[in-house]
Structure 1
Amino acid sequence: MPTPQDWAPYSSVDEAARVYLRDPDLALDQLRSVVDLPTIKSFIMSRGVTDDAWGEADQSLWQEVVLTDGHRLIMWRADDEMSTSGDRGRRLLNTSVRTILLSTITDHVLTAEYEMLDDDTRRLSEVRLRMYTQLITRSRQKSATESDIYCESFRYYKSVDNGGLAQMQRLLQFGRVLSRSMQ
């Protein structure tokens, strides 16, 4: 699998997808079905290799585009999978587009970590974005009168070793756009 170019220098999701994603046409078609691309205020992308779903000779890939139009969080995700039906498994690409209203995000934490250098300057080394929603994923009864409720959360991470400086800066930008858009 060829190494993708960095998506962070591109200001348009269309251009970034074409240099970074393995399946850019599919991603863009599915995203266009739910959002007008010119209305996108900010976006981030990620991809990685997972456990060998397609056999020893192939790498299994996941790809993700997360964007906002200022009102919604829109997530496109694609995962390589192996079908378990039938005598012989088939290679599958499982894709989804998810839309969440920003008004359902109840907590948003944007963390930047800096390495302090000997000359008293600092260097950005890690950025983390965590979002917690009102969307209940499960609950657990603790007693007759108490329950633990678990809400859906989303976490995004970029570092010097995971994306580099440009992607860390884009994650910071994305988190700030979300923060200004939440009501």
Structure 2
Amino acid sequence: MGAPQDWAPYTSLQDAARVYLRDPDLAVDQIRSVVEPPAIKSFVMTRGFTEESWGEALWQEVLATDGRRLIIWRADDDVSDTDDGGSRRILLASARSILLSTITDQVLSTEYEVLGDGTRRLAEVKLRMYTQLITRSRQRTVAETDIYCESFRFVKSVDNGGLAQMQRLMQFGRVLSRSM
């Protein structure tokens, strides 16, 4: 696959996935196992590369909502050991569904660059969600325990997705707010 096209102009998750994701059929099939695509009210996509000891790894993510659930599809390139002592490249993919009722706090932040003539230009959008889902705890004293809940953070900027993807992340945040 060459350089991905921008997914933001597409209102259909299937169409957006085909131009943006390396593994669109897998993503759509796994998301379809959780929610029928026509029920999706809003979605955003992101992808990136990490440098691993075995080479460059791609990660891909789709975040969608049907107004009742947060659906997260994620795929990561990885390496697995083989029985003969070698290794093979693999793709780890999952679809996750989280009830919106478990989200206790949502923050949609926008950052604007102030230009020389005083006008503002959207520079970055951040969506943070905090849930009731406990990921770990640590006992500090006999009477005190720190509890850590799962949270999610999504960022789009001028350099990471551009204006259309920032606007889509804002739209996604507003759909979530109205659905909670």
Query: Which of 136, 139, 158 is the aligned partner of 2:137?
Result: 139
| 1:119 aligned partner | 117
| 2:24 aligned partner | 24
TM-score calculated relative to the size of structure 2: 0.97
How high is the sequence identity, in percent, across the aligned residues?
70
Query: Which of 59, 74, 78 is the aligned partner of 1:81?
Result: 78
| 1:41 aligned partner | 41
Deviation at 1:52, TM superposition (A): 3.1
Q: How many residues align?
A: 179
Unaligned runs of 5+ in 1: none
Per-residue CA deviation, residues 16-73 of structure 1 (Å, 9 max, x unaligned), is 00000000001101111110100100000000111236x34xx311000000000000
Comparing 114-123 with 103-112, greater Cα deviation is found at: 114-123
SS in 2 for 1:166: helix
Per-residue CA deviation, residues 53-106 of structure 1 (Å, 9 max, x unaligned), is 6x34xx311000000000000000000000034311011000000000000000
Q: Residue 105 of structure 2 aligns to which amino acid in structure 1?
A: D
1:66 paired with 2:74, answer no
Alpha-carbon distance between aligned partners in 1 of 2:151 and 2:5, rounded to the nearest angstrom:
29
Alpha-carbon distance between aligned partners in 2 of 1:3 and 1:67, rounded to the nearest angstrom:
23
Q: Residue 26 of structure 2 aligns to which amino acid in structure 1?
A: L
Alpha-carbon distance between aligned partners in 1 of 2:175 and 2:100, rounded to the nearest angstrom:
11
SS in 1 for 2:133: strand
SS in 1 for 2:52: coil
Normalized per residue, the structure richer in strand is: 2
TM-score calculated relative to the size of structure 1: 0.95
Alpha-carbon distance between aligned partners in 2 of 1:38 and 1:50, rounded to the nearest angstrom:
33
